[in-house]
Structure 1
Amino acid sequence: MEKEKAKKQVFMNRELSWLKFNERVLEEAEDERVPLCERLSFASIYQSNLDEFFMVRVGSLQDQMLLGKKIRDNKTHMTSAEQIREILKKVRELSGRRDRAYNTLMEKLEPCGVRLTDFGRLSEEEKDSLSRFFQMEIAPLISPTVVGKRQPFPFLRNKEIYAVAVLETKNKKERLGIIPCTNTMVERLIPVRGQEGCYMLAEELILHYIPRVFDGYQIKAKSLIRVTRNADIDADALYDEDLDYREFMADLIKRRKKLSPVRLELSREMDGDVVETLCKYLDLDSTHVFRSQAPLDLSFLFQIQDILRKNPELFFEKRVPQKSPAFQEGRSLIEQIKEEDKMLSYPYESIRPFLRLLSEAAEDENVISIKMTLYRLAKQSKVVEALIEAAENGKEVVVLVELRARFDEENNIEWSRRLEAAGCQVIYGLEGYKVHSKLCLITRKAEGRVEYITQIGTGNYNEKTSRLYTDLSLMTANVDIGLEASAVFQALSKGEVVEKSDKLLVAPKCLQNRVLDMIDGEISRAQNGEEAYIGLKLNSLTDKKIIDKLIEASCAGVKIDMIIRGIACLIPGVEGSTENIRIISIVGRFLEHSRIYIFGRGQRAKYYIASADFMTRNTVRRVEVAAPVLQEDLKERLQSIFDTMLRDNQKAREACSDGEYRHVAQKEGEEPLNAQEYFYQEAYEKAGKA
């Protein structure tokens, strides 16, 4: 029993670990060292992250409970009900911090010339102006509902705001009045005439004038409300082979918008009976109800940022992705990659060389085919434009578009139609496996022999996120890698997965087992008294098999450094099990997204970049690709990136043996180091020298 208790303390529940990550995002909104308008971004991101967490993770746990499944977390052995209870407790605690952070930000905005107001702070003239605005611009667009025998409780759309009032009739009966507040015809921020930079939220204006809308009733109580709905649908479980897959996915998106609620938020305190009535209509447990002092939707903070753009001191210093010195202007990119492997590091370096590579391939008479896996794309995608151009030029273009990329399904459906219309062969993924790999293969035939240019990335082919996310993109003419990439596409075209690979690590069959083998290799070295090392940069660590093997490696004396932005189900620094493991998380200006695997030190070290986190869903339930970095200068660059991040003493938080994350302290005499700013400065200097 004692042994089992000791073993459990090295594991962190996945959902609670994610909440700790989102807490780190909230800390950025609280941090006075972060420019004011950037703090607004972090506050809004915290909320949107939490929305998605409830829609997907809490929704999934709720489904398990409703189906009566006795599923326990395989690391902490918590049941679904226990996890939900702890989630709600932690979210309630964080909600108070979020409200305080929001109020602080609003106070700091006032000296900058922007403020949100309420009716208690307005003059009679200003109130009259807003009254006329409501009557002329908003009231004609309102569609109120009075819930009763002849009027059922309306369907409340996911994440939209509604004004709710308890109405008392003349004969003292109570009714519920509901008004939708989300309307594309009305701006969310309504200017107050006579006060420059003063605004009122549209939903607050509607709530204030709700007595006018329900003028035959006495208003007993009122509040704004917002419902978050479950979005966790298993597409593969519902798919019927007789249906067109693309049309099935389009229908699935519509169905998702109507799933059961998982959270109700209120802007005002309301009588318990009223809340109980709302919960009854929504079929929601009252423990899932949250009272918020901050607005129920913080996306308007981005509008405030736009208003204040003229004040550069309120924002991060402007940074622009730089030209990579690895590429020479005016020369064929294909020829340059044939000479030596190339690697781009986003957002510090521009994605343009890769886009130029695609355009060059589209026009190159020696190119036979271009094959790509697409998971998330920009709204206006230059990648798709290049693929369409290639198809129109007679190239064979094979594109796997993953229609199950959560919350990007509609965008991907539309791109798949355009690609198909242009003559590209479009594949829609595999049954049972999402295709999450970032793989592009250009096949050429020159001088009687076949050549491959292979690109493997850690992030999506998305020009917008390449300026916001840190990612790596490797381009190589290595024949062995090209042949294995070709085997991946052949398998995908047949609806199969790769059973065996040598150079590439290809999930679901050839990644987890190869990683475990390489960890075993380091364990053997440690047991033989040799230096043994593992370095991992990931978004998340949840795979129980890999975690157990890392614990075994730590116990054997292997030194393990991990940079994990989000979920980490392993607690480091626990004596007797994880004392040789260090975990840091960097949450800063850019979203850390690149994955790097390092096994060993010095000349024998193996380096990989990958699309896969060490989550079971990535390692055994998706098609993922990790590529070896074989060129010495690129290995050195990866090691330098990794080591620099480990030294970050500005944005890094270290996971401690008690399960908490604490800021890495800047030691006496140590220079301040913000790794992300360091990499940007380095990119500027290298581009300048080039």
Structure 2
Amino acid sequence: MNVNAEEKKNNHTSPATAYLNRDLSWIEFNRRVLAEAQDPENPLMERAKFLAIVSSNLDEFISVRVAGIQDQIRAGYTKKDFTGYTPSGLYKRLIKRVTKIIADQYRTFKDISRSLHKEGIVFVDYKDLTHAQEQSIEQYYRDIIYPVLTPMAVDQSRPFPLVHSQFIYLAVVLTRKNSQEEEPYFAILQIPSNLPRCIPLPHRSNSKKRQFVFIEDVIRQHIQTLFSGYDPVAVSEFRLTRNSDLTIDEEGAEDLLEEIEKELRKRRRGVPARLEVQKGIHPYALEQLQAEFELEDFVFEIEGPLDLSFLRGFAGSVKGFSYLHHAPIEPLYPAEFEENEDFFEVLGERDVLVYHPYESFDAMTDFIIQASEDEQVMAIKMTLYRVSGKSPLITALANAAESGKQVTVVVELKARFDEERNIAWARKLEQSGCHVVYGLVGLKTHAKVTLIVRQEGPELRRYVHVGTGNYNDSTAKAYTDLSLFTANHEIGLDASELFNQMTGYSANYNWNSFIVAPTNMSLSLQKLILREAEHAAAGRPARIIAKMNSLSNQEVIDNLYSAAQAGVSIDLIVRGVCCLRPGIEGLSERITVRSIVDRFLEHSRIYYFENGGKPEVYLSSADWMTRNLTRRIELMCPVKDSNIRKQIVKILDLSLMDNVKSSFLQPNGYYERADDKKAPFRSQFAAMNVTRWKGGRALPSPTKHS
């Protein structure tokens, strides 16, 4: 997608070409993830993990975004979006882009497989097994695999069975033994997902070499054991992806939890969106699958194992190859709370910033545990969006409720693909005596905030935690996020009001410090951006640094364009989707957009406004997307403490200094790696030295990337 000649000639951008398309931009993000899988500087098993992420990212993209576009096409929707694409026009481009990235993905898999082979980690073809290995696998098949297999024939009396989304199946074409019938028989077989995808082969105790065979290859080799009296003509893998978006009638639902459970059952039968088949699949099998799923164009022949997301678990399961991974880091416990374990005493004196994953999420868990055990704590209120499978926070909240404290938890049941887990947590919390609220009708609760109310003498004091990421101890080890602990009075008042609005009826409120979506965030962002433009016009210092996951709201983009034209310098650090087109003369030449994809997922939302020399810094749960500003409860919290503001600016500076893992968005919508002559500087490696960015000390020195 090159900038067209007319655009170059006129040095201006039409309304449509002023923006990049959200879905095409997402493809480019996944390509940056793929680049990490291709980077020989990354440890080999880390490359395998990145390749797994590419696969799982693509699954979600197709099951939600592509499936939604397919729905629009079926409905006859032809209106262009603000980036100038009709659904059908965008769909054609997505087919090309997805086809290309899948081809690159499997070329990368072959490259990684060859490199693993050199290290002694081998994916073995069944035909190459030694006699001893074959005997071992045959016994494993008889004892473990065969008992859980269920062949499902497809004929006049047995209709096509339900094919679950994103599971691997075998399509089996058969003929009856000693029969002259011309029409073949057809059956399908689900590969058990609760057995290892890669089965380890026996090895000598003194050998470092590790060999594996895919479970689908084992089943294919033994397929005749399932169809006695028939001859298998062809056996091929296939995998279906269905539309996974939920359609929930919140206003008409008497019980939101039950309504979501009902929709989750429907998800299993979502409209087919993509079919992946093994390269060389038998034509009759492909004909049967396409007829059943009514898919013509989003069908991909795959040369290699379907669903490479297995590589994430595989990379962590192979023992004895630690040198193929990043050296582990041990998150430091925040020094402020290590010196004094009484959170309330510390926060009574100062605010505390915690930088994950370099500093431990255990501080958040300990904060809630201490509150649950403190006799002076009267109430605990918390939002939960995505929680880990064995969250210690749930236990602490339950214990607090059982001890007689007022515990209120706003659980977002509609967090996509975490609905079932959140339903389970909601029920456990309710059983423990917590007040569980499912949020407001029509809005997802995405804000990450905790309020603790404590009796201190004759007064009640509020302690607040605000985060940029979820209350999830697992992702806190892999995502970069910021946590702010504070006892600031104004922030405490706003936190109380925010929970009142989420749990009860509350009129419009004049926020002291918070900026809240959908109430006032959109308008506040407009004012903050245009204020910078006014400062620039008056010759005062004017700059915006915004770090987020995605930028796709047209109004925000237009405001940024206006500010840039007024002279504001704007640095955007956008990990994923970005619909703003930088570097257009007369429109956005003062705007840079960079994306950092590295060992940890960049997840923090940080917004900095120079404000004429009186900088303001905000931590937020919200990206600058339409859904965040209009359809979610989101929060922007100002950082009041000047020392913490300096710490956050240093974190932003680290990102702006990165010249190893940064890619810069070009006007044509593609990204180019940073290319300068300075010493290599990798922001995440620099940030690992937590003690140096705290306490007003100097920035970490540039860290060699290799």
Coarse TM-score class (shorter-chain normalised): over 0.9
8 Å CA contact 2:199–2:214 kept in 1: the answer is yes
| 1:46 equivalenced with 2:54 (yes/no) | yes
8 Å CA contact 2:167–2:193 kept in 1: the answer is no
Pairing partner for 2:172 from 165, 172, 180 = 165
**1:223 aligned residue:** 236
Map 1:73-472; keep pairs closer than 5 Å. 73-74=81-82, 76-123=83-130, 126-127=133-134, 129-169=136-176, 170=179, 171-184=181-194, 186-193=195-202, 197-235=210-248, 237=249, 240-242=252-254, 244-272=255-283, 274-284=285-295, 286-472=296-482
**1:67 aligned residue:** 75
Counterpart-to-counterpart distance in 1, 2:487 and 2:203: 65
Assess, with a 3 A threshold, how the Cα gap between structure 1 residues 389 and 415 changes in structure 2: closer, same or farther. same
**Residue identity in the other structure for 1:343:** L
**1:514 aligned residue:** 524
Segment of structure 1 superposing worse, 141-150 or 497-506 = 497-506
* Superposed displacement of residue 253, structure 1: 1.3
Tell me the secondary structure at the aligned position of residue 8 of structure 1: coil
**CA deviation map 1:429-459 (0-9, x unaligned):** 1100000000111112322222111111101
Counterpart-to-counterpart distance in 2, 1:46 and 1:356: 35
Counterpart-to-counterpart distance in 2, 1:32 and 1:496: 56
**CA deviation map 1:403-430 (0-9, x unaligned):** 1111111111111111111111110111
* Superposed displacement of residue 111, structure 1: 2.4
* Superposed displacement of residue 72, structure 1: 3.2
Counterpart-to-counterpart distance in 2, 1:609 and 1:183: 40
Tell me the secondary structure at the aligned position of residue 91 of structure 2: helix
Note the residue ranges of structure 1 that are not aligned, 5 or more in a row. none
| 1:614 equivalenced with 2:621 (yes/no) | no
**1:638 aligned residue:** 648
* Superposed displacement of residue 268, structure 1: 2.4
**Residue identity in the other structure for 2:264:** I
8 Å CA contact 1:325–1:686 kept in 2: the answer is no
**Residue identity in the other structure for 1:550:** L
Assess, with a 3 A threshold, how the Cα gap between structure 1 residues 495 and 621 changes in structure 2: closer, same or farther. farther
Assess, with a 3 A threshold, how the Cα gap between structure 1 residues 478 and 238 changes in structure 2: closer, same or farther. closer
**CA deviation map 1:152-178 (0-9, x unaligned):** 111111111111122234212122221
**Residue identity in the other structure for 1:253:** L
Assess, with a 3 A threshold, how the Cα gap between structure 1 residues 409 and 207 changes in structure 2: closer, same or farther. same
**CA deviation map 1:542-591 (0-9, x unaligned):** 11110111111111111000100000011111112110100100011101
* Superposed displacement of residue 71, structure 1: 4.6
Counterpart-to-counterpart distance in 2, 1:369 and 1:682: 33
Counterpart-to-counterpart distance in 2, 1:336 and 1:193: 56
Tell me the secondary structure at the aligned position of residue 11 of structure 1: coil
**CA deviation map 1:489-514 (0-9, x unaligned):** 11111266855423111000111110
**1:31 aligned residue:** 39
Pairing partner for 2:24 from 3, 10, 16 = 16
Counterpart-to-counterpart distance in 1, 2:150 and 2:481: 46
Segment of structure 1 superposing worse, 352-361 or 250-259 = 352-361
**Residue identity in the other structure for 1:15:** D
8 Å CA contact 1:231–1:256 kept in 2: the answer is yes
Q: Paired residues, what number? A: 681
Counterpart-to-counterpart distance in 2, 1:165 and 1:394: 60
Segment of structure 1 superposing worse, 655-664 or 118-127 = 118-127
8 Å CA contact 1:10–1:578 kept in 2: the answer is no
**1:672 aligned residue:** 680
**1:628 aligned residue:** 638
Assess, with a 3 A threshold, how the Cα gap between structure 1 residues 322 and 190 changes in structure 2: closer, same or farther. same
* Superposed displacement of residue 636, structure 1: 0.7
Counterpart-to-counterpart distance in 2, 1:428 and 1:495: 14
8 Å CA contact 1:348–1:683 kept in 2: the answer is no
Assess, with a 3 A threshold, how the Cα gap between structure 1 residues 88 and 137 changes in structure 2: closer, same or farther. same
Counterpart-to-counterpart distance in 2, 1:140 and 1:420: 39
Pairing partner for 1:527 from 530, 534, 537 = 537
8 Å CA contact 1:322–1:684 kept in 2: the answer is no
* Superposed displacement of residue 477, structure 1: 1.1
Counterpart-to-counterpart distance in 1, 2:540 and 2:123: 63
Note the residue ranges of structure 2 that are not aligned, 5 or more in a row. 1-5, 698-706
**CA deviation map 1:464-487 (0-9, x unaligned):** 111111111111111111111111
Counterpart-to-counterpart distance in 2, 1:504 and 1:463: 25
Tell me the secondary structure at the aligned position of residue 287 of structure 1: coil
Tell me the secondary structure at the aligned position of residue 224 of structure 1: strand
8 Å CA contact 2:491–2:514 kept in 1: the answer is yes
**1:597 aligned residue:** 607
**2:496 aligned residue:** 486
8 Å CA contact 1:35–1:316 kept in 2: the answer is yes
Counterpart-to-counterpart distance in 2, 1:655 and 1:355: 38
Assess, with a 3 A threshold, how the Cα gap between structure 1 residues 210 and 578 changes in structure 2: closer, same or farther. same
8 Å CA contact 1:369–1:395 kept in 2: the answer is yes
**1:504 aligned residue:** 514
Counterpart-to-counterpart distance in 1, 2:448 and 2:508: 15
Tell me the secondary structure at the aligned position of residue 541 of structure 1: coil
**1:647 aligned residue:** 657
8 Å CA contact 2:201–2:212 kept in 1: the answer is yes
**CA deviation map 1:209-259 (0-9, x unaligned):** 334433434444331000011101122x366333x2222222221111211
Q: CA RMSD in A?
A: 2.2
8 Å CA contact 2:409–2:434 kept in 1: the answer is yes
8 Å CA contact 1:501–1:510 kept in 2: the answer is no
**2:555 aligned residue:** 545
Counterpart-to-counterpart distance in 1, 2:437 and 2:570: 40
Segment of structure 1 superposing worse, 542-551 or 192-201 = 192-201
Tell me the secondary structure at the aligned position of residue 182 of structure 1: coil
TM-score normalized with structure 2 length: 0.92
Counterpart-to-counterpart distance in 2, 1:400 and 1:123: 57
Assess, with a 3 A threshold, how the Cα gap between structure 1 residues 138 and 355 changes in structure 2: closer, same or farther. closer
* Superposed displacement of residue 14, structure 1: 0.5
Tell me the secondary structure at the aligned position of residue 117 of structure 2: helix
8 Å CA contact 1:491–1:498 kept in 2: the answer is no
Counterpart-to-counterpart distance in 1, 2:691 and 2:91: 44
**1:573 aligned residue:** 583
Assess, with a 3 A threshold, how the Cα gap between structure 1 residues 41 and 534 changes in structure 2: closer, same or farther. same
